[in-house]
Structure 1
Amino acid sequence: MAAVSALALALAACGGSDDDSGGGGGGGSDSYEVAFIQGVAGDEFYITMQCGIEAAAEDLGVTVETQGAQQFDPALQTPIVDSVVASAPDGLLIAPTDVTAMNRPLKAAADAGITVGLVDTTLEDPSMAVTQVASDNEGGGAAAFTAIQEANPDGGTVLVVGHEPGISTNEARIKGFLDALEADPKFTALPTQYAQNDPAEGARIVTSTLQSTPDLIGIFGTNLFAAEGAATGLRQAGAQEQVTVVGFDAGPAQVEALENGTVQALIAQQPAEIGKQGLEQVVASLNGEEPEAEIQTGFTIITKDNLADNQDALYKSDC
């Protein structure tokens, strides 16, 4: 994907509220303005998160403005944060795109009096945030290995295709997967490779790996783009029947891959719940209440057999 400077902008509905409690911004929650900065615009995971935030905003009587860069890149996210700080909202919900690089701009936001909440990803030093809401990413990684293990009880060689190094969720998923794998000596992991959030790069990695490791039996794609690329690479190599693919996230492209048998399992997060709880905690802090400092949400393991019963766990393309 080419980097562009344009921002994807969406406005949430604003509802009325009779809550007259005090807080930042000099009034009750009906006067709060909160910015939501996605990790990347157009990703169904963040769109679904936005839907949860918008629904919560209507219930809480606050206004939310959503923005996101076209790539998961701190160099593109930083100017968005700087612009938000200049506009002085009461609160900021953000999925940081790098554990280190986003510390400075978010500290500047907090120093400017903006109440900061982290959703999905975190920071090396999250002390400026009043809350962190994310999936149990290590647990999801372990579940991904279990799915590969159950499909291949005799063991074999597996590959992890990550999205980008330096992202907290990515590293936690990989850690959970590899920790679980180390407990079973029948399995061996190749060095982790990163698709840089580019499905075409993920496909290239998989086709190249199959050439050097023709007995590959499993692939774990740590996000939507990594798993989508893995599925494409297997189709190109004609190896769909040989390799078990487990993907993290449940966007439309991944569900299609699950339905056609290229992907055997999906680890679906709860992005709407992450967004909802993140906004609730920021508003609680603005109201002078004690927010929950850290919240972990669960996940759903989706297979072709249980897909019909888990439609609510699938990600949305719009609200």
Structure 2
Amino acid sequence: MRFARIAGLAAAAVLLAACGSGQVGGSGGAPVENNKRLTLIPGVQAEPFYISMQCGAQAEAQKLGYTLDTSAPQKFDAALQTEKVNALGSNPPAALLIAPTDDTAMLAPIQQVAARGVKIIEVDTSLKDTSVAQSSISSDNTAGGQLAADTLAQLVGGKSGSVLVLDTIAGTSTTNARAAGFSEQLKKYPNLKSVGIQFTQNEPGEAMSKVTAALASTPDLVGIFATNLNTGEGAAAGLRGAGKAGQVQLVGFDASPSEVEGLRNGEYQALIAQDPAMIGQQGVQQAVAALEGRPVTRNLTAPLHSLTKANMDAHSQYFYKQSC
């Protein structure tokens, strides 16, 4: 889950000419022949992670002869995302690609769409109930957290001290898994002690205040792991304001343009980059396979990459996009 600064993102639609088969239920589950329309509902508007995902999905949809519409909520919020799901109404797409903003609260609205015969593909985040989606595509977020802990330990070296974990919102499957994986892996490094996981409600200002408070209460703070873009930006601002940028090692998640710039100028010491374009591509592939009666893979994972200032230019293909 990846998340970013809230801004407007126009809904994207690509009209495609290629042909193919596919059936899906309409209102009440009645079959609709040759429905070639897919809808992507990401977690939030204008976030480079989700834009990159959309780009990958759009390209694959065009390749396979389907259209893709994107409709994103203005904030990473279950109520706002529910409105987007409900707006599909009596003319649903053949398949819905969705990044659930809450692993429990989004169950009912997604079930209602599925009851109309729509194929459900989870991208990035997922529901706790595994019976609804045909396929879930995500990074291995637990492994991503573990990679972040290993990376931070390498950056710190043998220095002893405390480490703060900044997560987003309880119930967000991706970032919660990252925080848990990081905390468990950190136990392998006896010189590093976790001071716990703090939630920021996915607001940079909250993350900044948490870092400011931690710097005051924890003089031996040597590292921070921020589980997504907003927490990372807030953490970077907090460290910058305290004159601690580069002294406290900051490992962020994702590789948005602002994070990449921060890595280059020393506000971040490492980023754990996902491959959102691949997630979007695979999401469309699985949706089309489900629609055309071909085998579907229930769970797929996309690769993760540890970026530092030393290796970032050699891995620039993993930098996220702001437009397709």
Question: What TM-score does the superposition give when structure 1 sets the normalisation length?
Answer: 0.94
Report the residue type matching 1:115 in the other structure. Answer: K
- Give 1:63 shift: 0.8
Q: Which residue of 2 aligns with 1:55?
A: 59
Q: CA RMSD in A?
A: 1.7
Secondary structure (helix, strand or coil) at the match of 2:104 reads coil
Does residue 310 of structure 1 match 2:315? yes
Partner-residue secondary structure (3-state), 2:71: strand
Corresponding residue SS for 1:128: coil
- 1:170 corresponds to 2:171: no
Percent identity, please: 43
What are the Cα deviations for residues 98-141 of structure 1, in whole angstroms up to 9, with x where unaligned?
A: 01100101111111111110000001103111000000111110
Indicate how the Cα distance of structure 1 residues 83 and 22 shifts in structure 2: closer, same or farther if over 3 A, else same: closer
Deviation per residue, 1:124-172 (Å, 9 max, x gap): 1031110000001111101111111012223320000111111110111
Of residues 114, 117, 120, the one that matches 1:113 is 117
| 1:162-201 superposed matches below 5 A | 162-201=167-206
Q: What stretches of structure 2 of length at least 5 have no aligned partner?
A: 1-5, 25-30
Is the deviation greater in 227-236 or in 81-90?
A: 81-90
Q: Which amino acid aligns with 1:312?
A: Q
CA deviations over 1:163-214 (Å, ceiling 9, x no partner)? 1111110111011101111122221111211121111111111011100112
Amino acid at match of 1:90: A
2:84 counterpart of 1:84: no
Paired with 1:185 and 1:118, the residues of 2 have a C-alpha distance of 37
SS for the counterpart of 1:138 is: helix
**Structure having the larger proportion of residues in helix:** 1
Equivalent in 99, 103, 108 of residue 107 of structure 2: 103
Q: Distance in 1 between matches of 2:168 and 2:181?
A: 15
For the residues of structure 1 that align with 2:171 and 2:244, how far apart are their CA atoms?
31
Alpha-carbon distance between aligned partners in 1 of 2:46 and 2:19, rounded to the nearest angstrom: 34
State TM-score, norm by structure 2: 0.93
In 2: Cα distance, 1:244 partner to 1:23 partner? 52
Q: Say whether the 8 Å CA contact 1:198–1:226 is kept in structure 2.
A: yes
Question: Would the alpha carbon gap of residues 192 and 181 (structure 1) be closer, same or farther in structure 2, given more than 3 Å must change?
Answer: same
Once residues 22 and 208 of structure 1 are traced to their aligned partners in structure 2, the CA distance between those partners, rounded to angstroms, is 55
Is it true that 1:249 corresponds to 2:254 in the alignment? yes
Q: Is the 8 A contact 2:246 2:268 kept in 1?
A: no
1:8: Cα distance to partner?
A: 4.1
Distance, in Å, in 1 between the alignment partners of 2:92 and 2:117 is 8
> Alpha carbons of 1:241 and 1:88: their partners in 2 closer, same or farther (altered >3 Å)?
closer
- Tell me the CA shift for residue 86 of structure 1: 3.1
Counterpart for residue 23 of structure 1? 23
Find out whether 1:126 has 2:136 as its counterpart: no
Q: 1:23 to 1:199 in 2, by over 3 A?
A: same
- Deviation (angstroms), 1:12: 3.0
Q: Distance in 1 between matches of 2:190 and 2:90?
A: 54
